[in-house]
Structures are given as structure tokens and as C-alpha cells.
Chains A and B, each alone.
Chain A
Amino acid sequence: MFKWRKWVRILHRDFGYVAAGLTVVYAISGIAVNHTQDWNPNYSIEKSTMKIDPVPDSLLTSETLITDILAKVGEKGKLKSFFLPDSNTINIFVDGNTISVNLKKGEISQEKITSRAVIRETNFLHLNSPKKIWTFVADLFAIALAFLAISGLFMIKGKNGIKGRGAWLTAIGVFIPIIFLLFYYYKLL
């Protein structure tokens, strides 16, 4: 006689091992991107302001204007480029820092960005930024998760199995999203 439950357990176990790493990646990123209203899940952004003496008109076209400003803010990163949004302002782009200077008022604001280690990488994979073959890997992972969920229902026999306690717990798990859909999506309750 074909022992299907034995095979369900074997497959559930081995698929589970393979899926463990990716599940952790998706779980970390899931929490991170769940709170985008409250934080930036990819970068830590540090904003600061400082004052310098207003730059006289005679120095506005000076070749050393940018290097002078960088020296004043103590920025030693690699200069990428600059932009003039209006006649009074210059934005200087340095590796990891954007320095915006109101030349007439002498107001400097800086925006330093630092990539969030590990979390940014998990977001990159979770949100399928690589596209290409990662799309297929992520699809296979999703199929594996569905298999793990369904096979998990039938692994155990008896009063704790799907015909007993398992049925109630499974029902709770199914009703949770349904209740939220009724509340928030259909607005019926």
C-alpha cells in the first residue's frame, strides 16, 4: 500500500529545509516594507543644517566655490556633480551626501544617506528588483510555500490532525484575512 503520508512528510521536510533561508529573507523584508509610512526601509537619511557667511555675488561664479563649500562642511567624499535649482541655490552631489546651499542667506542643508545593511538586500530580493531569473526563483519559492502550507495540513493523524484540532486552527487562519477584507476592503462590518 502506498504510504502517502510518509511521502508528504519527507517532501515537507526537504522543501522546508530549502525554503528556510528565503523565508527568513522575505520575513525580514516583509516587516521592513510594512512600515514604509514610518521609515525608509532601504536607507537611513540624516538631515542637518548649518550657517555660513553669505557668499558675495563676486564669488558666485568662482571656480573654487564648490571646493570652498565642501571644505566648510568638512565633506571629503567624491564630488559627482552639482545643480543650480535657482539663481540663489546650488546643490552639490557627493558620494552619500547632498549639500544644498542658499548662497545669499548662507544656509546649508545636508542629507546624508546610508544604506541599511541586510534589510536593503532583503528588500531588493523580496520586491523583485533584480527581475530576470530571480522572478522564476521567487515563483518557485511561492509554489514551495503553497506546498508547505497544504502538505503541513496532512502531516499529522489523529485528534491533533486536520480532522481535529488542526481543523479549528486552520479555520482561524483562513478567517483572519477574510475578516480584514470584510472590514477594510468591502467595508461591510
Chain B
Amino acid sequence: MKNIILSVVAFLFLVSNSFAGDGNKYGKDLRLKEKTKISAILAAPNGYVGKKVQVEGNVVGVCEKRGCWIELASDKPFQKIKIKVKDGEIVFPMEEKGKKAVVEGEVYEIKMTKEQALAAAENEAKEHGKKFDPTSITGPVTLYQIKGLGAVIK
């Protein structure tokens, strides 16, 4: 019986090791050969909507509850872009905050009415424990995000 148990444990160890990833790899393999600057996407987002891009930047935000999004800093100051992944499909640990990430995904837009934008901003402020300023939203808002498919974070 002991031999059976040891064999099962050894098998599982070997198999799980052979399938183990690099630790910082999430989702699908990165395939694109060229990187797109985040600042370029933010400067002319309409030209990128629906297109697959590979972007690079430091992780400056991680979804606290589900690890279902990260925010990457742009190559230009004061800019960032959100990478949203399917809930549960990829889970980004909070320890990745501050590290450099290379992410592939598809750019998409979210159009919100003023009311929707107000509700979203209020929710975000609540989530981050910050004061909500309703005057910060003056009209309808269009957000540009990346639907993340794969990422490598170092």
C-alpha cells in the first residue's frame, strides 16, 4: 500500500511539475511581435478599437477582490490603461502591483451616459475609499480598455 501511495505522489509531482508555468505567465501565450505604446492607443483610441495589441507598462492597479483587472502605466506620465480579463479565467495576484507587465489583448470601448458614468465613478471611489466628486463627470464618457488575453509579469 505504501508503494502505491508513494507512486501516486511521485506521479502527481512529476506531472504537475512538467505542466507548471513560469509563475508570472497568465492566460494565453503572447504571440504579437510588435509592441504598441499605451500613449499611442490613448492618443487615437478609435484607430485601435477591435484590434489586438501588445502593450508594456508597470502594473499600477490590481482588482482587489477578484484579480480580474490590472492597470498599466503608460509610457507617458499621468496616463494608464485598464486591462480587463474574463472573471476567473485569469486571476492577477495583488503582489503583481508595481512590476513590469507585457499584455496582449483587444482594445474595446465602453460608452456611458452621464448617469452611468456618475454611478461608475461613485462605485470606484467607494471601492478605493476615496471621496466622490460628482462635478468630475460633466457628460457622457467613453472609456477605452483592453480585453486581456495573455500576460507576462516580471
Q: A residues near B, CB below 8 A?
A: 36, 40, 42-43, 45, 47, 80-81, 83-87, 91, 93-96, 98, 113, 115, 127-129, 132-134, 137
Contacts and interface: CB of A to CB of B under 8 A. Distances in A.
Contacts of B16: 132-134
A127 B98 contact: no
Contacts of A83: 58, 60, 73, 80
Give the 7 A-B CB pairs with smallest separation, nearest first. Answer: A93-B98, A80-B98, A132-B19, A83-B60, A81-B58, A133-B19, A81-B98
A127 B88 contact: yes
Nearest to A79: B98
Q: Is the interface of B mostly helix, strand, loop or mixed?
A: loop
Interface of B: 12, 15-16, 19-21, 58, 60, 64-67, 73, 77-78, 80, 88, 91, 93-95, 97-100, 129
Contacts of B65: 36, 40
B91 A127 contact: yes
Contacts of A115: 95
B123 to A, nearest CB: 14
Contact of B64 (A45, A127, A128, A133): A45
Given A81-B100, A83-B60, A47 B129 contact: yes
A26 to B, nearest CB: 16
A81 B88 CA distance: 27
Contact of A40 (B64, B77, B78, B100): B64
Contact of A84 (B19, B77, B98, B99): B77
7 contacts: A42-B67, A83-B58, A84-B78, A85-B80, A96-B95, A113-B94, A133-B19
B98 A86 contact: no
A134 B71 CA distance: 28
B105 to A, nearest CB: 18
Nearest to B72: A83
B127 to A, nearest CB: 11
B78 A81 contact: no
A52 B95 CA distance: 27
Nearest to A85: B78
A133 B95 CA distance: 24
A21 to B, nearest CB: 12
A95 B66 CA distance: 20
- With most chain A CB atoms within 10 A of its CB, the pick from B80, B94, B97 is B97
A86 B12 CA distance: 50
A47 B93 CA distance: 18
Nearest to A91: B60
A129 B78 contact: no
Given A81-B98, A85-B80, A98-B97, A133 B91 contact: no
A87 B78 contact: yes
A156 B112 CA distance: 61
